[in-house]
């Protein structure tokens, strides 16, 4: 079990995530997801007014972590000599943020940050493509 703080408009709430394999997320990957979402909002010139889960398009941290874990496991099965671990992985947008910047704000912000548009990526690959969130 892990407790994660989430602050919206100055109101602190605690989110409890239960029953998830934390092999991949044990090193603050929930905070990484929050950092990615907050970074996108900042790049779009928006202020966060709702919970991170709202921007991720789900009401469950378990869903987000499950999808990221499945993506990591799929990568590791195909690339056993270069496995993703909690210490060599970044979080990246599949469809780049810059594409959403062209389209405007509003619903596009939710699509950009939707958990299905996020993927774990090796740090070296994320650095190569110009990503900065770690």
**pLDDT, position 27:** 40
Tell me the per-residue pLDDT of 77-133, one tens digit each, with 9 for 90 and over: 999 999 988 778 888 999 888 887 776 666 677 788 899 999 998 988 877 655 444
The token pair that represents 78 in the structure block:
């195909």
**What does pLDDT average to over the chain?**
75
Model pTM above 0.95:
no
Tracing tokens 């060599």 back to the chain, one arrives at 88
Nearest in space to 45 (alpha carbons), one of 90, 96, 7, 100: 100
- Torsion sign (Cα): 3, 46, 108, 101: negative
């Amino acid at each position: 079990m892990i407790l994660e703080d989430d602050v919206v408009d100055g109101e602190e709430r605690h989110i409890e995530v239960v029953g998830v394999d934390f092999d991949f997320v044990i090193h603050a990957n929930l905070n990484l997801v929050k950092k990615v979402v907050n970074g996108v909002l900042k790049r779009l010139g928006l202020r966060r007014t709702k919970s991170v889960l709202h921007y991720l398009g789900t009401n469950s941290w378990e869903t987000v972590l499950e999808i990221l874990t499945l993506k990591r496991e799929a990568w590791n099965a195909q690339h056993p000599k270069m496995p993703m671990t909690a210490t060599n992985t970044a979080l990246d947008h599949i469809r780049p943020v810059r594409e959403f910047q062209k389209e405007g704000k509003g619903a596009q912000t939710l699509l950009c940050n939707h958990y299905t548009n996020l993927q774990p990526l090796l740090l070296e690959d994320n650095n190569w493509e110009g990503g900065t969130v770690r």
